[in-house]
Amino acid sequence: MIILDTHAWIWWLTESPKLSLKATEAIKNNTLIGIPAISCWELSMLVSKNRIKLSMDVQSADEFSFSKS
């Protein structure tokens, strides 16, 4: 499992060149990716302040799978 902070998560989702090749490979090579709850909140704040745009609305989060480890 790999845990992503907010920046790494956003850069991974947007395929940003800001995410290093090493980090990209580490994410791709893991079957489980953890996103801290605070990162979900931070992402929703960035969207609500129009700092970033998503191709889906934040309310669509029920389509994601969450689990306890």
Q: How far apart are CA 54 and CA 69, in angstroms?
A: 28
Q: What is the pTM of this model?
A: 0.74
- The DSSP H or E segment spanning 43 is helix 37-48
Each domain of the chain, given as residue ranges in start order, spans 2-52
Non-local (6+) Cβ contacts of 32 within 8 A are 1, 2, 69
Q: How far apart are CA 8 and CA 6, in angstroms?
A: 6
- The DSSP H or E segment spanning 3 is strand 2-3
Name the residue among 2, 3, 19 with its Cα closest to residue 40.
3
In this prediction, residue 51 carries a pLDDT of 92
Q: Encode pLDDT of 29-53 as tens digits.
A: 998 999 999 998 998 899 889 998 8
